[in-house]
Structure 1
Amino acid sequence: MEFLREEFLLTLLLSYFRVVSFFSLFPFFSSNYVPLNVRLYLSFAVSFIALSFFDIKTVSVNTFEEFILKALNEFLFGFTAGLILRFFIEALAIAGEIIALHTGLGFLQLFLPGQAPMSLFGAFFYLYGILLFLSVGGAEIVLLALSESFKKVPIGSFNLFFLNPEVFLEFFYESFKLGVKVSLPVLLSALILNLILAVVNRFIPQMNVFMVGLPLQVLVGLIVLLLSLPVITLVIVNHLYDFLKVFELFIKQLGLY
């Protein structure tokens, strides 16, 4: 049978390294909400389906050193592609940390199973970003792009030194801009509130601004966040669509090197 040929099994194993390293950083699938054995089985299923239904040329390996080199290249490819997508989720988590800091709720820490401790708003935007990513079909688009990568970048042909560093900087800049846009309404409201409290403290020195300011800062921050959440959602979704288009283009351009 063709599935039992040595070239097919080696190609399947190398493609498995690409997919499993990609899923190690892929949003939602890399979290502990998905059990490790499910991620491993899913990676094997995606690799097998890609080799079975796409016209992918099998790889022949002559020495063990050559196999290790090809496996390392596949691991680096999956890690690089997953890292780019990770920028999007981490930008939302950082935006949540900034919002928590400026609403006076930065001391509230959530301990999610298998996750690093994060603030209340950091965890909220982290999960909210994953929800939006899945709801707009981001997982399907990324999996199709990953399957397309087997055609554009054949197994074992990836070279990390051919990548343009400006691509990573562009993804990083766009993610940073997204984090600023998401946290901007709360940042501006906190700045205006602090200015008002400073003026009030100037004219009424007898009033304890610290006792009044902290509850007021929490209240104003929550109200502004609630009112601006539809706009924030629209900004995140629009950025996500652009992000996925650029990611698809990035995968296709890898085959030109």
Structure 2
Amino acid sequence: MDSALAGFVFGFLIVFVRISSAVMLLPGFSEASVPPMVRIGLSLALTCIVAPLVGTDLPPMPTEPAYVILLILEQIVIGLTIGWLTTTILTTLPMAGQAISYQIGLSSVLLPSTELGSNSTLVSSVFNLMVPVLFFSSALIIFPILALVNSFHQIPVNITSQFSNTSDLGLIIKVIIKAVSFEFLISTQIAAPFLVIGLIWQAGLGLIARASPQLQIFFVAAPLQILIGLILLALFLGPILSIWHIASSHMLRHYIEY
């Protein structure tokens, strides 16, 4: 009876460590303003759901304390990887907003905003606030949970170190590389219309400045650039969110299969 109870507690602990590590980096919960009790409560709720589904894949409790510590450290690494991958894939929207904001004139590399910081732009900050809302209000939140369940089958919990197996380490590295490349590719595709229009706009301003050197073209064109940029952003906002949602769903579903 005691051994069965110890095995149950050990299995629950292992699942909880992997899930709580992922929750720490999920969009919306990785912010410093989120109370720790909220993260712990969500982790416990998800553990109660996932633990019965993966109970048969969990090993018995090791007799050596060193093995227990090793298993806990491995679960932390795997959980952080899953949470980081989810955040990386969803960060494509703020990254695209960074490029869009520069192109429509709401930010400048020469005149950074003192309120938002030198590394933040207005459109990117707005998109960054939209990511948790879209994440929790759509089916995107299901994919990290499925990834956690599937991770216990793809990278099972064993007494021996999983990271001594080069195939498991190679699998994690491969997924990370695909997620990062996806982030840059989709963010560039989302911002592509603004990049093309911005390039044509800057070329036109250069020709005007060449033809009339005494005209302060920057101060004349800046208001018009912002106005046209906001109009284009309002027109393209629906397609931008749609493309982002479809691409993120496809990528999250893709890396669940690994």
Counterpart contact for 1:190–1:217, Cα < 8 Å = no
Summarize the Cα distance change of 1:35–1:118 in structure 2 as closer, same or farther, 3 Å threshold. Answer: farther
Summarize the Cα distance change of 1:55–1:70 in structure 2 as closer, same or farther, 3 Å threshold. Answer: closer
Residue 217 (str. 1) matches residue 225 (str. 2): yes
Summarize the Cα distance change of 1:82–1:55 in structure 2 as closer, same or farther, 3 Å threshold. Answer: same
Instruction: Give the CA deviation at 1:194.
Output: 1.2
Aligned residue pair count: 247
Deviates more, 1:17-26 or 1:206-215: 206-215
Instruction: Give the CA deviation at 1:17.
Output: 1.0
Corresponding residue number in structure 2 for 1:15: 15
Report the Cα distance in structure 2 between the residues aligned to 1:234 and 1:39, rounded to whole angstroms. Answer: 29
Summarize the Cα distance change of 1:39–1:12 in structure 2 as closer, same or farther, 3 Å threshold. Answer: same
Report the Cα distance in structure 2 between the residues aligned to 1:4 and 1:37, rounded to whole angstroms. Answer: 29
Q: Deviation digits for residues 206-240 of structure 1, max 9, x if unmatched?
A: 42202112222222221221111122122112201
Q: Deviation digits for residues 3-49 of structure 1, max 9, x if unmatched?
A: 98111111211211101111111122323454221111211222233
Which amino acid counterpart does residue 67 of structure 1 have in structure 2?
Answer: V
Corresponding residue number in structure 2 for 1:183: 191
Corresponding residue number in structure 2 for 1:238: 246
Among 158, 169, 175, which residue is 1:163 paired with?
169
Corresponding residue number in structure 2 for 1:97: 98
Instruction: Give the CA deviation at 1:247.
Output: 2.0
- Give the structure-2-normalised TM-score: 0.84
Report the Cα distance in structure 1 between the residues aligned to 2:99 and 2:138, rounded to whole angstroms. Answer: 26
Report the Cα distance in structure 2 between the residues aligned to 1:182 and 1:159, rounded to whole angstroms. Answer: 38
Where 2:105 maps in the other structure, the secondary structure is coil
Report the Cα distance in structure 1 between the residues aligned to 2:139 and 2:3, rounded to whole angstroms. Answer: 31
Where 2:70 maps in the other structure, the secondary structure is helix
Which amino acid counterpart does residue 221 of structure 1 have in structure 2?
Answer: G
Among 193, 198, 202, which residue is 2:206 paired with?
198
Deviates more, 1:118-127 or 1:6-15: 118-127
Corresponding residue number in structure 2 for 1:137: 139
Corresponding residue number in structure 2 for 1:38: 38
Which amino acid counterpart does residue 83 of structure 2 have in structure 1?
Answer: G
Report the Cα distance in structure 2 between the residues aligned to 1:34 and 1:6, rounded to whole angstroms. Answer: 33
* Superposition RMSD in Å: 2.7
Summarize the Cα distance change of 1:92–1:156 in structure 2 as closer, same or farther, 3 Å threshold. Answer: farther
Corresponding residue number in structure 2 for 1:72: 73
- Give the gaps of 5 or more residues in structure 1: 251-257
Report the Cα distance in structure 1 between the residues aligned to 2:119 and 2:20, rounded to whole angstroms. Answer: 25
Deviates more, 1:196-205 or 1:38-47: 196-205
Which amino acid counterpart does residue 166 of structure 1 have in structure 2?
Answer: K
Counterpart contact for 2:135–2:141, Cα < 8 Å = yes
Report the Cα distance in structure 2 between the residues aligned to 1:209 and 1:48, rounded to whole angstroms. Answer: 63
Instruction: Give the CA deviation at 1:119.
Output: 2.2
Report the Cα distance in structure 2 between the residues aligned to 1:230 and 1:102, rounded to whole angstroms. Answer: 19
The alignment-based identity, stated in percent, is 27
- Give the structure-1-normalised TM-score: 0.84
Which amino acid counterpart does residue 123 of structure 1 have in structure 2?
Answer: S
Counterpart contact for 1:100–1:119, Cα < 8 Å = yes
Report the Cα distance in structure 1 between the residues aligned to 2:204 and 2:12, rounded to whole angstroms. Answer: 64
Counterpart contact for 2:100–2:194, Cα < 8 Å = yes
Instruction: Give the CA deviation at 1:148.
Output: 3.5
Instruction: Give the CA deviation at 1:141.
Output: 2.9
- Give the gaps of 5 or more residues in structure 2: none
Instruction: Give the CA deviation at 1:65.
Output: 0.7
Where 1:118 maps in the other structure, the secondary structure is coil
Which amino acid counterpart does residue 162 of structure 2 have in structure 1?
Answer: N
Summarize the Cα distance change of 1:154–1:167 in structure 2 as closer, same or farther, 3 Å threshold. Answer: closer
Which amino acid counterpart does residue 141 of structure 2 have in structure 1?
Answer: A
